[in-house]
Structure formats: structure tokens, C-alpha cells
């Protein structure tokens, strides 16, 4: 059940993010439903799992420093101050990380730190491809999860996998609209290949 909730949490998080950032749907009720779902899921997953809560919070906190614009909205901003309550409530459940856990934790942090500098636009073919690649890598990690990966980190993998899959769908939907039907082979290449190489 925890893995299903983690996956659902990743979907709801990215749905809320992209529906608003890409200006697709204007529905206060849907926004509030997605926000409520996120907090319910994060609370259920975190209350008995400090390690999961710490990874989720640390990654998002670091991302807020390098991607301050995205974290300036009231919901996102206040979440950074409210979430530590879950860390306090679950602190007694903390356990040691395995070597693989630490490596993946560092990987999450690096992605959260670097991605805002690589993809400054909301939609692009290069961002779509990166999302698909990340999803594939996460699927491989999930399939190899029996090799020293804890349940806490596995939940983070499911959460992230759902996040990247959902993001991919939104990119597929929005990218052609944003370039207004001018999709050509040259457009695709210019999006994917760095300008200094073409």
C-alpha cells in the first residue's frame, strides 16, 4: 500500500505543478483537491518513516534555494515550514541508511540542484527526453530494488517515477502547442542538441 501511495503522491504532486505552471486548467476545486491529496499521502507515508520524510524534505529544500521562483507561491513556500512537523513526529522511527540508500539520496540532491539550471523553460523537447530517460532509469532501479535499497528509499523511487512519468505526459501534451505547430526535424534537433554543437 505504501508504494501505491508513493506513486499516487508523485502523480498528484506533478499534476498540481504542471496544471498551474503550464496554465492548462483553472479550477480552484481541483487545485485544493490535489493539495489536500498531497498532504494526506505525505503524512501517511512520513508519520512512521523518518528516513522517507527527511529525503523528501531535504531534496525539496535544496531545490527551493536554486529554484526560488517556483517556491515563491504561498502553498509551496509555507510547505517548507510546515513539513518539519512530520520530521519531528516521525523522528523516533529513524534508521541507518545503507550504502545504496546514501548513493541514491545524493543522486536525488544532485538532480534537484542541477536541473533548474539546465532547463529554464517550462516545456521543451530536451526536457521531455530528460524526463523519459529519468523514468526509465528509475524503473531499472525499482526492478533492482532488492539489492540493498531500503523501503524508505524505494518509496522515494516510486514517488519520483510517478513524478517523471506524469511530467512526460504533460510535456508531450504541451510542447507541440508551445511551438505552434512548427515541429520539424530541425526544431527537434535545435531543442535537443546544445547550440554550440550545431
Please state the domain extents for the chain.
Answer: 2-197
- The chain-wide mean pLDDT, for the chain, equals 87
Q: pLDDT at position 198, please? A: 47
Nearest to 9 by CA among 185, 188, 159: 159
Report residue 191's pLDDT band, with 50, 70 and 90 as the boundaries: low
Residues in the chain: 198
Which residue is associated with the grid cell 524508505? 152
Q: Read off the pTM.
A: 0.86
Report d(CA 9, CA 165) in Å as an integer.
12
Report d(CA 6, CA 15) in Å as an integer.
14
Report residue 196's pLDDT band, with 50, 70 and 90 as the boundaries: low
Higher pLDDT, 186 or 192: 192
Which residue is associated with the grid cell 498532504? 39
Q: pLDDT at position 2, please? A: 94
Higher pLDDT, 193 or 142: 142
The top-scoring range by mean pLDDT among 90-99, 113-122, 144-153 is 90-99
Nearest to 8 by CA among 38, 48, 52, 53: 38
Secondary structure (3-state) at 26: coil
Amino acid at each position: 500500500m505504501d508504494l501505491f501511495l508513493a506513486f499516487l503522491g508523485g502523480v498528484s504532486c506533478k499534476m498540481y505543478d504542471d496544471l498551474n505552471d503550464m496554465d492548462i486548467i483553472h479550477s480552484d476545486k481541483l487545485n485544493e483537491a490535489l493539495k489536500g491529496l498531497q498532504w494526506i499521502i505525505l503524512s501517511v507515508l512520513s508519520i512512521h518513516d523518518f528516513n522517507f520524510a527527511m529525503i523528501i524534505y531535504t531534496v525539496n529544500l535544496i531545490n527551493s534555494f536554486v529554484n526560488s521562483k517556483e517556491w515563491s507561491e504561498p502553498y509551496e513556500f509555507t510547505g517548507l515550514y510546515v513539513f518539519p512537523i512530520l520530521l519531528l513526529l516521525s523522528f523516533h522511527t529513524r534508521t541507518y541508511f545503507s550504502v545504496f540508500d546514501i548513493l541514491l539520496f545524493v543522486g536525488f540532491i544532485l538532480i534537484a540542484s542541477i536541473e533548474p539550471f539546465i532547463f529554464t523553460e517550462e516545456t521543451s523537447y530536451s526536457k521531455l527526453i530528460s524526463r523519459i530517460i529519468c523514468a526509465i532509469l528509475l524503473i531499472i532501479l525499482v526492478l533492482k530494488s532488492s539489492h540493498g535499497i531500503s523501503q524508505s528509499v524505494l518509496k522515494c523511487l516510486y514517488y519520483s517515477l510517478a513524478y517523471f512519468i506524469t511530467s512526460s505526459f504533460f510535456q508531450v501534451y504541451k510542447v507541440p502547442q508551445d511551438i505552434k505547430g512548427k515541429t520539424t526535424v530541425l526544431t527537434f534537433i535545435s531543442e535537443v542538441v546544445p547550440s554550440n554543437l550545431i
